[in-house]
Structures are given as structure tokens and as C-alpha cells.
């Protein structure tokens, strides 16, 4: 029987601990995750081998010529980070802005929200 099991070594990025993870998987099936000390690590490892996801943080232009910090509310597909940046760069936020305000909705499957109070 041909064994299609693959193994990948990962560094977990969920928290600063940075656990070294070993993931065994076959196609889109994760068989095992080792090395994590919390369940978030397991989820990260699964995503990472099947469809890696990232939070994007950046700034958007504000109407007064300054910038305000923003992030994607949820993680987005890692492949779409630069697509997301294009959207972020295209918008001008009107003031005032409060933490949590939606600056742009439906970007790569989530919203761009403000992470700073301005104005």
C-alpha cells in the first residue's frame, strides 16, 4: 500500500511561545499534530497545511491626510494578503474613527476594522 502521508515541521504563530509543531497529513486530511501545548496550535497546524490564514494589519488614509490603524476582523487566506492590501490602500476613512468601526466590509471574506481611535 502506497503511503501518501506527508510530514511538515511548523513554528506556531498563534502566540509568542512559538511551539514547534509536527503535522502529519494526507492530501487535505490532517492525521496528527504534535508539539502544541494548546488547542489553538492544533487548529493553526491544520489550517497551515491545508489553507494557511493570516491576520493583516495596516493603516488606511484618513480624510485629514493622516492614517489610522486597521486590521482584518478575522484571518484571511495567506495568498490574499496583497489583494487585501490593495483594498486597504484604496479607501479613505472619514473621521472620527473609533476602535472596532468597520472601515471596509467584505474584504477577502471579512471586514477591515479600525484598531485606533482618531479624531
Partner 1 sequence: MLTKELVIIGGGPAGMSAAIAAYEDGIRDLLIIERDDSLGGILQQCIHNGFGLHRFGEELTGPEYAWRYEKRVRELNIPVMLSTMVLDITEDKVVTATNSSEGIFQIKAKAIILAMGCRERPKGALNIAGHRPSGIYSAGMAQKLVNMKGFMPGKNVVILGSGDIGLIMARRMTLEGAKVHAVCELMPYSGGLARNIEQCLNDFDIPLKLSHTVVNIHGKERLEGVTIAKVDERRRPVEGTEEFIACDTLLLSVGLIPENELTKSAGVTLDRVTGGALVDQNRQTEIEGIFSCGNVLHVHDLVDYVSEEAEIAGRGAAAYIRGELVPTKNTTIKTDGKIRYTVPERITSDGDVSVYFRVSDVFRDKKVTVRSGDTIIYQKKHLKLAPGEMECVKLTADKLRGANELVFGLED
Partner 2 sequence: MKKVAIIGSGVIGAMIARELSRYELEVTVFEKESDVAMGATRANSAIVHAGFDAKEGSMKAKMNVAGSFMMEQVCSELGVKYVRNGSLVIGFNDEDRAELERLCARGKSNGVEGLRVIEKTELKALEPNISDNATCALHAPTGAIVCPYELCIASIGNAMDNGVKLILDFEVASIERTEKGFVLSSGDGRRAMADYVINAAGIYSDKIAKMTGDNSFEVHPRRGEYVLLDRECGSTVSHTIFRTPSKMGKGILVTPTVDGNLLTGPTSVDMEDKEDKSTTAQGLAKLMGEACENIEGGVAYGKTITSFCGLRAVGNTGDFIINEKAGFVNAAGIESPGLSSAPAIALYVRELLENAGLELISKKTFNPIREPKHRFREASIEEKNEIIARDPAYGRIICRCETISEGEILDAIRSNPPARDIDGVKRRTRAGMGRCQGGFCGPYVMELIAKERGIEFEKVTKAGGNSTMVIGKTK
Q: Can you give the binding site for partner 1, defined by CB under 8 A?
A: 10-18, 20, 54-59, 61, 66-67, 69, 71, 78, 81-82, 85, 99, 115-117
Please report where in the chains the cell 486597504 appears, as a residue. 88
| 61 sits near partner 2 (criterion: CB under 8 A) | yes
With CB under 8 A as the contact rule, the residue among 32, 55, 89, 105 that binds partner 2 is 89
Q: How far is the CB of 115 from partner 1 (least distance, A)?
A: 4
| 59 sits near partner 2 (criterion: CB under 8 A) | yes
Alpha-carbon span 27 to 13, nearest angstrom: 23
CB-nearer residue toward partner 1: 24 or 54: 54
Phi, psi of 95, rounded to the nearest 5 degrees: -100, 155
| 103 sits near partner 2 (criterion: CB under 8 A) | no
CB-nearer residue toward partner 2: 69 or 113: 69
Asked if 92 and 67 touch (Cβ cutoff 8 Å), the reply is no
* Residues found in the chain: 119
CB-nearer residue toward partner 2: 7 or 89: 89
Amino acid at each position: 500500500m502506497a503511503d501518501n502521508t506527508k510530514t511538515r515541521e511548523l513554528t506556531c504563530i498563534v502566540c509568542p511561545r512559538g511551539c514547534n509543531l509536527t503535522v502529519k497529513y494526507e492530501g487535505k486530511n490532517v492525521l496528527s499534530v504534535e508539539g502544541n501545548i494548546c488547542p489553538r496550535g492544533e487548529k493553526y497546524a491544520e489550517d497551515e497545511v491545508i489553507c494557511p490564514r493570516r491576520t493583516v494589519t495596516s493603516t488606511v488614509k484618513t480624510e485629514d491626510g493622516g492614517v489610522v490603524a486597521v486590521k482584518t476582523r478575522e484571518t484571511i487566506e495567506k495568498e490574499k494578503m496583497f489583494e487585501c492590501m490593495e483594498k486597504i490602500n484604496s479607501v479613505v476613512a472619514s473621521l472620527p474613527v473609533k476602535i472596532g468601526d468597520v472601515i471596509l466590509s467584505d474584504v477577502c471574506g471579512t471586514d477591515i476594522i479600525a484598531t485606533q481611535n482618531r479624531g
